[in-house]
Amino acid sequence: MEIVRTVNEMIAITDRLKQENKTIGFVPTMGYLHEGHTTLMDESKKYADVLIASIFVNPLQFGPGEDFERYPRDEERDQEIAEQHSVDILFLPTVDEMYPQEATIKLHVQKRTDVLCGKSRPGHFDGVATVLTKLFHLTKADFTFFGLKDAQQVAVVKGLIDDFNFRTKLIAVPTVRELDGLAKSSRNVYLSEEERKEAAHLYKALCTGQQLIIDGEKNPVMIIEEVKKYLDRETNGKIEYVDLLTFPSLKPIGSIDQQVIIAVAVQFTKARLIDNLIISENGTVPKAIV
């Protein structure tokens, strides 16, 4: 595995790879790698000749009260994990390397951000779009891999790729789950023993909504209400939201006649958990999400 720390070195390497007609898969991360990340890395090997992963804690994604300095970092551990999962090139730039001067142009994501988690994090996805624009240019990726656990991010990235004609194909990888259905997350360690049992019901609540659609329910309001009732009954967490929207456009819908997302966020004592299901109008999980 090759460690790259500068923009110029990355440009030179990817120029060479393209001259050699090699296909490039790209997994962007903010480090502190876990099974969600490594699943994306493993998936990339099915598509591309070369796998590039980046680790960069992007300051533009952090809003007021979100502590950029305290975000977990462990470069040595991350390098070991990346190598174990056959990463060919690991890009580890500093903030000064990625943002050497004050920007003259600001990217603003104007759709797909005022719902779900984005509603409480203004400006977050502007930072995501900015860093990905740079990384797409630097890596020249043919395929880019994101996990569907953060489906809103997938929707925003899809819009970025489409709007700016980036020559990369977005591969949305299904959420990695525990045996009881709980979406794997670094935040799960903050759950108490009782909360950990309750947390499995987030996925079961989503499946309840899915079953209603399978059974012919087309009214989003009714489905949202039933999912909320399930969560209220089975957990003691505070429901932050339950929503049902079109996907990937993330717009309200009056009657389910196209692909949708059912998404939930629940605040437990020390952990805020999110989960979602993306399903077709008849309730099945589509093969191609975006």
User: How do residues 79-132 score in pLDDT, each as one tens digit?
Assistant: 999 999 999 999 999 999 999 999 999 999 999 999 999 998 999 999 999 999
Tell me the CA end-to-end span of the chain in Å, nearest whole number.
31
Catalytic residue list contains 85: no
**What residues form the annotated binding site for ATP?**
30-37, 147-150, 176, 184-187
Q: Domain ranges in the chain? A: 2-173, 186-279
**What residues form the annotated binding site for beta-alanine?**
61
Homologous superfamily (CATH) for 186-279: Pantoate-beta-alanine ligase, C-terminal domain (3.30.1300.10)
- Determine the pLDDT at residue 132: 98
Q: What is the pTM of this model?
A: 0.93
In the chain, how many H helices and how many E strands?
A: 9, 9
CATH fold of 2-173 reads Rossmann fold (3.40.50)
- Determine the pLDDT at residue 65: 77
Pairing of strands 260-267, 272-279: antiparallel
User: How do residues 179-229 score in pLDDT, each as one tens digit?
Assistant: 999 998 878 989 999 999 999 999 999 999 999 999 999 999 999 999 999
Inter-residue contact 121 to 150 (CB < 8 Å): no
- Active-site entry in 37, 85, 124, 201: 37
